[in-house]
Structure 1
Amino acid sequence: MNKKPLKPINIRPITPEDAPLLFDLMTSEKWLAQIGDRGIKSVADARQYILDKMHPDLHRKGFVNHIVIDSETKAEIGTCSLHHRDGIDGVDIGYGILEQFEGKGYATAAAQKMVELALNTYGLNKVYAITNDENLGSCKVLEKLGFIHIGYVELPIADHPVKLYELCIA
């Protein structure tokens, strides 16, 4: 089977200076429809969200959100992360790509980076992911990487059950 190589990306921890990118991402129509409104109404709100919600995760949960960067163009194209999310018994991955970069392989590459981080840095042998039924692109990304849809889960942050995927690495 001829496997297409993943988009070359780099990641780096998110900083408060990434607030404009986060604002653009978290106020996009797709983010609001697929992930939900996190109350971000300005770049200042995005900066505060990074400081209040993202940076403390490193000390509380051991993980931090990352900025996804195209290795060739150096364009910052989205975010990716690992989470200890209430309602999931384990670590799940998350990713969000700016709409102008969708459909170019960045989400798959970012999700793969998070899987590698979970395995190689944190020594995990199982990783989860969640998405909405309507988010067919995300479902395809997860299935391409070998995740299996194992059911639905209700999360405190969602108003309806979401698809739960699992990837076991033996």
Structure 2
Amino acid sequence: MQILSTERLSLREFTPLDAPFLLRLVNEPGWIRNINDPGVRTAEEALTWAEGRLFKAYRELGHGFWAVQRRDDGVLVGMCGLFKRAALPEPDLGYALLAEHEGRGYALEAARGCVAHAREVLRWKTLMAITAVDNPPSIALLGKLGFEEQAQQVLEGYSGPSRVFRLAL
């Protein structure tokens, strides 16, 4: 299901057919370094991971992490979306791209679309975001969106501390 469009991108719900793409994405060195290693090594494991991490949120919350694809050719470049983690008091913005698509402004464009969706469609008042402690590109992106750093804390599912950000919508 289509969620939103930006100038160059379209964000939609992932489907089971996206399992091979998700397998690639969650095994990117940047994902493993800055997010975590979910231990997903096969397309079947990627589908199981997507069911628990993505599809369940769509059904239960009506939002989640969405597939980011270029509008001109439909190529999947990453994921971006809104997710409610038990460890945070408010929903948060998350994003990740395949390394081959970084540096083109896709993450910022998709994130701006998600922030607008949170404010205008979902009518949320606050949005959070987390990054690895040493992730300058994500920290800079969150700054461009107006997020302010709140603290560093160890969140469930992460081995070390995360930087926690908040944005009033």
When the two structures are superposed, what TM-score results if normalisation uses the length of structure 1?
0.91
Q: Which residue of 1 aligns with 2:25?
A: 25
Q: Which residue of 1 aligns with 2:67?
A: 67
Q: Does the CA contact (< 8 Å) of 2:96 and 2:107 recur in 1?
A: yes
* Worse overlay, 59-68 or 157-166: 59-68
Q: Which residue of 1 aligns with 2:3?
A: none
**3-state SS of 2:165 partner:** strand
Gap change, CA 1:24 and 1:156, over 3 Å in 2: same
Uncovered stretches (5+) of structure 1, i.e. residues with no partner: 1-5
Q: Which residue of 1 aligns with 2:96?
A: 96
Letter in 2 for 1:109: E
Q: Does the CA contact (< 8 Å) of 1:86 and 1:155 recur in 2?
A: no
CA distance in 2, matches of 1:148, 1:79: 22
Uncovered stretches (5+) of structure 2, i.e. residues with no partner: 1-5
Moved over 4 A (4+): none
**CA-CA distance at 1:159 after TM superposition:** 1.5
What is the aligned length? 164
**CA-CA distance at 1:145 after TM superposition:** 1.0
Q: Does the CA contact (< 8 Å) of 2:66 and 2:81 recur in 1?
A: yes
Letter in 2 for 1:126: T
User: Could you list the per-position Cα deviations for residues 74-94 of structure 1 after superposition, in whole angstroms to 9, with x for gaps in the alignment?
Assistant: 211001121110211101011
Q: Which residue of 2 aligns with 1:154?
A: 154
Give identity over the alignment, percent: 27
**CA-CA distance at 1:62 after TM superposition:** 3.0
CA distance in 2, matches of 1:51, 1:149: 31
**CA-CA distance at 1:99 after TM superposition:** 0.3
**3-state SS of 2:64 partner:** coil
**3-state SS of 1:73 partner:** coil
Q: Does the CA contact (< 8 Å) of 1:67 and 1:79 recur in 2?
A: yes
**What is the root-mean-square deviation in Å for CA atoms of aligned residues?**
1.4
Q: Which residue of 2 aligns with 1:132?
A: 132
Q: Does the CA contact (< 8 Å) of 2:91 and 2:128 recur in 1?
A: yes
Note if 1:77 corresponds to 2:72: no
